Amino acid sequence: QIQLVQSGPELKKPGESLKISCKASGYTFTDYAMQWVKQAPGKGLQYMGWINTQTGKPTYADDFKERFVFSLETSASTAYLQINNLKNEDTATYFCARGTLFAYWGQGTLVTVSS
Amino acid sequence: DVVMTQTPVSLPVSLGGQASISCRSSQSLVHSNGNTYLHWYLQKPGQSPQLLIYRVSNRFSGVPDRFSGSGSGTDFTLKISRVEPEDLGDYYCLQSTHFPYTFGAGTKLELK
């Protein structure tokens, strides 16, 4: 069955960096784009952007152009979200989702940024 | 960016009753290829969102026929008939016609 399995929760200090993984299984990884979505505590869903799993080219929504990096390890069917220079407002759950329909979602990775 | 205005914010329902959620976009969601990329998701407490309806009116695999989507252009509706306990949670619309894709703010379906 199709699954997206994300890495575990993170507790970081402001200014640090982190990298979240999203491992896909049950389908051909390069057949579908990978999307990234942020959900702050108690808030709605915010679209971050996507990565082309065939070319590796990322495309970011405006709010996520500065400190956020999407990448791939195609041989491992894994997508990554790196966040640099973490800020308190990055505290959120981050989801990966498959394709233009967002048909399958990872379980989410909770990131807590606190000094 | 396309603004998705989703109403109501909260929707109290009775089990077995009907619910209707509206999503309006600030511009037409008809893509140059003729498709309309408006989708609906349910996020149950503590879970990831799950796709219910894609491209306005197509039920995703395994979604009961109690869920139906309709609309065109800028005005879209999700209807849930015979509400069951597992239908409770937060509903979101998403447009993926125009980049950046945008979500509605959500509707909390709760028991009356």
Specify the pLDDT at position B105. Answer: 98
Q: Which residues of B touch A62 (CB under 8 A)?
A: 1, 100
**Using CA atoms, how far apart are residues B38 and B41, in angstroms rounded to an integer?**
10
Coil, helix or strand at residue B87: helix
Angle B48-B50-B52 (CA atoms, 0-180°, nearest 5)?
Answer: 165
Q: Which residues of B touch A105 (CB under 8 A)?
A: 48-50
CA distance B76 to chain A (A): 17
Name the percent of chain B in helix, strand, coil, to the closest 5. 5, 50, 45
Averaged pLDDT, B55-60: 98
Specify the pLDDT at position B82. Answer: 96
Cα–Cα nearest to B42, from B7, B78, B81: B78
**Using CA atoms, how far apart are residues A56 and A50, in angstroms rounded to an integer?**
10
Q: Which backbone phi and psi does A103 adopt, to 5 degrees?
A: -75, -30
Find the CB nearest B51 among A95, A101, A107: A101
**Using CA atoms, how far apart are residues A96 and B4, in angstroms rounded to an integer?**
21
Chain B contact for A61, CB < 8 A?
Answer: yes
* pLDDT tens by residue, A21-78: 999 999 999 999 999 999 999 999 999 999 999 999 999 999 999 999 999 999 999 9
Cα–Cα distances in Å, from A70 out to A17, A54, A79? 14, 13, 7
**Using CA atoms, how far apart are residues A15 and B91, in angstroms rounded to an integer?**
34
Q: Which positions ≥6 away from A17 have C-beta within 8 Å?
A: A82, A83, A84, A85, A86
Q: Which residues of A touch B43 (CB under 8 A)?
A: 45
Q: Which residues of B touch A103 (CB under 8 A)?
A: 51, 54, 60
CB atoms A102 and B51 under 8 Å: yes
Averaged pLDDT, A13-28: 98
Specify the pLDDT at position A105. Answer: 98
- Residues of chain B with pLDDT > 90, as a percent, come to 100
**Using CA atoms, how far apart are residues A10 and A111, in angstroms rounded to an integer?**
5
Specify the pLDDT at position A112. Answer: 98
Q: Which residues of B touch A47 (CB under 8 A)?
A: 94, 100-103
B61: confidence class by pLDDT, cuts 50, 70, 90: very high
Specify the pLDDT at position A26. Answer: 98
Specify the pLDDT at position A34. Answer: 98
* pLDDT tens by residue, A75-107: 999 999 999 999 999 999 999 999 999 999 999
SS3 of chain A: the string is: CCEEEECCCEEECCCCCEEEEEEEECCCHHHCCEEEEEECCCCCCEEEEEECCCCCCEEECHHHCCCEEEEEEHHHCEEEEEECCCCHHHCEEEEEEECCCCCCECCCEEEEECC
Average pLDDT over chain B, rounded to an integer:
97
* pLDDT tens by residue, B67-110: 999 999 999 999 999 999 999 999 999 999 999 999 999 999 99
Q: Search chain B and give the residue with CA nearest A62.
A: B100
Specify the pLDDT at position B52. Answer: 98
Chain B contact for A5, CB < 8 A?
Answer: no
Q: Search chain B and give the residue with CA nearest A93.
A: B48
Chain B contact for A42, CB < 8 A?
Answer: no
How many contacts does A have with B, using Cβ atoms within 8 A? 53
